[in-house]
Amino acid sequence: MYKCDLDRLSEKIKTFSKFGDTGNGGITRLSLSDEALAAREEFCERLKKLGANIVTDDMANIYATIPGSENLPAILSGSHLDSVRQGGNYDGVLGVLSAMEAVETIVTDKIPHRHPITVVVWTNEEGARFEPAMMSSGVLCGKFKKEDMLNSEAKDITGYYFKDALEKSGYKGSEENRMNPEKTAGLVELHAEQGPVLDAENKEVGIVEGVCGMVNYEFTMRGQADHAGTFPMKYRKDALYACAKVIDYLHENLDKLDAELVYTTGKISAHPNIHTIIPDEVKLTLDSRHKDPKVMEQVVEVIKNLPESLEKCTVEKKEAWARDTVYFNKKLVGFVEDSVKELGYTYKKMYSGAGHDAQYMCDVIPTTMIFVPSVEGHSHCELEYSTPENCLKGANVLLNTLLKMDEEL
């Protein structure tokens, strides 16, 4: 089994953590910002030194390829360099740095390989500056219309659009350079777990079999706005109180379903949102996720059975959007499992609760993922951390998975 270098990987993590450093242990590196462009420049310089050929496509995705000994489809690995505001130093970037380290190991150790191996950097995975998330991979896989994405307005600059940032970046390339499914053997994306499971169960690697399905609902409770000081409690039609009852109903009934179901009532807006007025309209969102479609059907059934009237207020519900469970390529998942076992690491087979570029890519090419434990599960915050030892183990699994793909595909 081949091994990556701990010192090299740690240096990569340390160096890239400077691009967008918040001063509090995290980063703010929004898509195509100056900080993100500096990280891209560092990436390209390092891959050029390894002899990689670098091209970009029309969505500014970067492809850095080392040649193989045969004229075969490329094997891809990578993730994203952009972050959320005040995010951590591992989300996305660890997948890029691990792929860089795997390629550096192949080059420096002169490990023979037949396929070209490409380290990819996807543009705007987070959607923190330009919505939606997973924008560029979504365009490549036909999930989003390019024209719509080009006209996505920045959240930080009024009247500034993704197309403006794209032109300014210097990384806009040709559509001909896009990942071509016919010339691609498969993709492996390493990522921080972004949850507490691996860390809590003391597992060193997550073997990711897919991405959980999810459904998002919006509830609207309507009552009557009246004076907060003069209206007796028994006469009130308080929409916010009705909202509390909806939350209580959801918790009581969804908790009866499978223990792996996760759900969040994450966004509430009250009208008129004035402390002296009883709320007359409140909106609430529900995000629920599970790998089993049958469990998701049960979630929908619970929602359908929600009373249409609570505390003298009307209750409306509507599905905002839904996503089916994504299943990764079984052969590639098997390569990951074989590598983990041969390296002697503890592991857990699991599904991702978060969205990743890989979930779109698996529609067009064989795809899988590898998870590295997140200490205490922290992610999308400055506390985000994965130990150097576990990062190295993840990179070792990635390296050997790429080589198994090279041998078998």
Q: How far apart are CA 289 and CA 215, in angstroms?
A: 7
Per-residue pLDDT tens listing for the chain (409 residues): 999 999 999 999 999 999 999 999 999 999 999 999 999 999 999 999 999 999 999 999 999 999 999 999 999 999 999 999 999 999 999 999 999 999 999 999 999 999 999 999 999 999 999 999 999 999 999 999 999 999 999 998 899 999 999 999 999 999 999 999 999 999 999 999 999 999 999 999 999 999 999 999 999 999 999 999 999 999 999 999 999 999 999 999 999 999 999 999 999 999 999 999 999 999 999 999 999 999 999 999 999 999 999 999 999 999 999 999 999 999 999 999 999 999 999 999 999 999 999 999 999 999 999 999 999 999 999 999 999 999 999 999 999 999 999 999 9
Q: What are phi and psi of 211, to 5 degrees?
A: -120, 130
Partners of 74 in beta bridges: 184
| Model pTM score | 0.94
- Helix axes of 34-49 and 6-16: crossing angle, nearest 10 degrees: 150
Q: What are phi and psi of 67, to 5 degrees?
A: -70, 155
Half-sphere exposure of 378 (CA within 13 A, CB side): 15
> Which residue has 């999308």 as its token pair?
380
Contacts of 42-48 with CB under 8 Å at 24 or more apart are: 42/15, 42/16, 43/81, 43/96, 43/100, 43/121, 46/100, 47/100, 47/103, 47/119
Contacts of residue 210, Cβ cutoff 8 Å, sequence gap at least 6: 291, 325, 326, 327, 328, 351, 352
Number of H helices, E strands in the chain: 12, 15
For the chain, the domains span: 6-211+325-408, 213-323
Which amino acid is present at 212? C
Question: Is 107:44 a contact under the CB 8 Å cutoff?
Answer: no
Q: Which fold has domain 6-211+325-408?
A: Aminopeptidase (3.40.630)
Partners of 163 in beta bridges: none
Contacts of residue 390, Cβ cutoff 8 Å, sequence gap at least 6: 204, 372, 373
In 3-state terms, the chain is what percent helix, strand and coil (to 5)? 35, 25, 40
Q: Where are the alpha helices (DSSP H) in 202-318?
A: 239-254, 293-304
Q: How far apart are CA 291 and CA 61, in angstroms?
A: 29
Q: How far apart are CA 56 and CA 33, in angstroms?
A: 17
Q: What is the Cα 349 distance to its own chain's centre?
A: 18
Q: How far apart are CA 261 and CA 244, in angstroms?
A: 21
What does CATH list as the number for 213-323?
3.30.70.360
- How many beta carbons lie within 10 A of that of residue 368, not counting itself? 26
Longest distance between any two alpha carbons in the chain, whole Å: 82
Using the 8-state DSSP alphabet, how is residue 19 labeled?
Answer: T
